Amino acid sequence: MLRLNLAREPYWLDLGLGVRVRVEPLTTALMVAARSDPAVRGLPEETTDDEIAVVFGKALAERAILDWEGVGDADGNPTPVTPEGIAALLDIWPIFEKFQMGYVAKGLELEAEKNASAPSQTGSGAGAKVTAQRASKAAKTARKS
């Protein structure tokens, strides 16, 4: 059974390294907006799946991230959320991977809920390639439409 969350309230997502972001719930509208982003739609045909995943992830993050904690400038002063700041934050691999797995993957994979949990994959990067590939396929589809 698919359980719907009708609250639609922003929530905090821990990205590790002392960083957490407050994000909008991942909705169809956010996914469509990210897929329609000029940076995503303008990618050349020969763009790799991994490159598409990065561009798509940043486009989605720019729309989803409302606030953050643990992000500062070179002097350690807290900085406001900006598109440039989001891009720089996601250029840090562990942060990008956590955002992909903790936010993007949940929007790309809806599984039927069961009474018992299925075993999860092991390792810090388990499933990361699959997530990136699915995001890239969604972005490629958006470019062709």
69 forms beta bridges with 20
Say what the pLDDT of residue 112 is.
32
Dihedral sign of CA atoms 125, 126, 129, 132 in order: negative
Q: Give the pLDDT confidence score for residue 122 in this predicted structure.
A: 52
Q: What is the pLDDT of residue 105?
A: 86
Are 6 and 18 in contact by the 8 Å Cβ rule? The answer is no
DSSP percent split of the chain into helix, strand, coil, nearest 5: 50, 10, 40
| pLDDT tens for the 145 residues of the chain, in order | 666 666 689 999 999 999 999 999 998 899 999 999 999 999 999 999 999 999 999 999 999 999 999 999 999 999 999 999 999 999 999 999 999 999 988 766 643 343 344 445 555 555 444 445 555 555 555 555 5
Cβ neighbour number for residue 135 with a 10 Å cutoff: 28
Q: Are 127 and 109 in contact (CB under 8 A)?
A: no
Q: End-to-end distance of the chain based on CA atoms, in angstroms?
A: 32
Which residue, chain included where needed, has tokens 């997502």? Answer: 13
pLDDT of residue 8: 82
| pLDDT attached to residue 30 | 93
Helix (H/G/I), strand (E/B), else coil: 138: helix
